[in-house]
Amino acid sequence: MQADADVRGDGGGGLRGVPEEFRTWILKADAACDQPSMTPSLLAAQLYQESKFRPTAQSNVGAQGPAQFMPGTWATWGRDDDGNGENSPWDIGDAVMAQGRMMCSLLGQAVSSGYPGGPQSLALAGYNAGWGRVEQYGGVPPRTFANGETYNYVQIILSTMKRFEGPGKLEVSGSGSGPNALRKASSLLGTPYSYGGGGPQGPSTGFCDGTNGYLNGRCSASSTVGMDCSSLVQYAYWPDSKLPRTAASQYSATSDRPVAKGDLKPGDLLFWSHGPSSSIYHVALYAGDGKVLQAPRTGRNVEVVALASAMPAGDYHGATRP
């Protein structure tokens, strides 16, 4: 029998100190963004600065909800993300996902602009003062602009991000193939994602195939020493279980041992697909407590995240036990 693992970590995939009703939405908003400089702690620190996580927050100039959207800005970014039939800046899910979309767009603009200061600083300044002000000053507006409001906004959020960062280490107790594999894979937390990279011996450079492996228009994988989703799983179980290299083939090799969501144990394999099993595109290791350990995509690192936000929920194909 495979022993259960006692998994202890940050409880939210690199995120701590936020109200539970915000946690899932912050992780979803982070997962939906393809900008490497987007992090859950950035969104959390920004929400704390904007509203102290108060859904009913309203400023004296009319900014509304936990992410403090002005009505005109909300019209651009707001959607009914929580599916309750209302598109509202007062709803936590709607507000956080809109915040994430706007910040993701601003981070992309920041990278393309070439302005000094770093993408997080520039995006925060754009969120607070509008991207036009960033363009006007060629970076974060100085202290002399708006009595230092934007300058201080950026500095405060950057300095408070640390308090919302969960510890990176994943502690696993117990024995058996699942906990042992999870323990081995957790040693690679923080390792960059590299499409086609990695294998039984650990991280290596990868390759680009015309679609995958690119970041900001260049082939990132060929110069990045790291792992992709299936090489991380292969590495975790090697040599006791010599799983094949790709996610689809790993599913084929283990599909005769399916596991229901309610019966998941640490080390089980979880798969996502665009339809049939032949279209499986992602695999991750179950880390216990509703979390997964995964190598997500180009520009990101090996991480622990909530299962609900690891990949699109509708793509979840099933789980197996090696």
- Please choose, from the candidates 135, 145, 94, the residue with its C-alpha nearest in 3D space to the C-alpha of residue 115: 135
- Does residue 273 contact residue 281 with C-beta atoms inside 8 Å? yes
- Please choose, from the candidates 157, 159, 163, 120, the residue with its C-alpha nearest in 3D space to the C-alpha of residue 10: 163
Q: Which residues contact 313 (CB under 8 A, 6 or more apart)?
A: none
Amino acid letter for position 311: M
List the Cα angle 126/128/132 in 5-degree steps: 40
List the Cα angle 279/306/222 in 5-degree steps: 55
- Is residue 50 part of the annotated active site? The answer reads yes
Set 20, 21, 50, 165: catalytic member: 50
Strand partners, 6: 173
Q: Distances from the Cα of 78 to the Cαs of 20, 23, 25, 39, 194, in angstroms?
A: 22, 19, 14, 20, 33
Q: And the tokens for 205?
A: 């450079």
Amino acid letter for position 161: M
Task: Provide the sign of the torsion angle of the four alpha carbons 37, 199, 166, 63, taken in this order.
Answer: positive
Look up tokens 């990132």; give the residue: 220
- Please choose, from the candidates 191, 295, 304, the residue with its C-alpha nearest in 3D space to the C-alpha of residue 233: 295
What 3-state DSSP class applies to 171? strand
Q: If you count them, how many residues does the chain have? A: 322
Q: Which residues contact 119 (CB under 8 A, 6 or more apart)?
A: 35, 37, 107, 110, 111
- Does residue 186 contact residue 293 with C-beta atoms inside 8 Å? yes
Give me the active site residues, please.
50
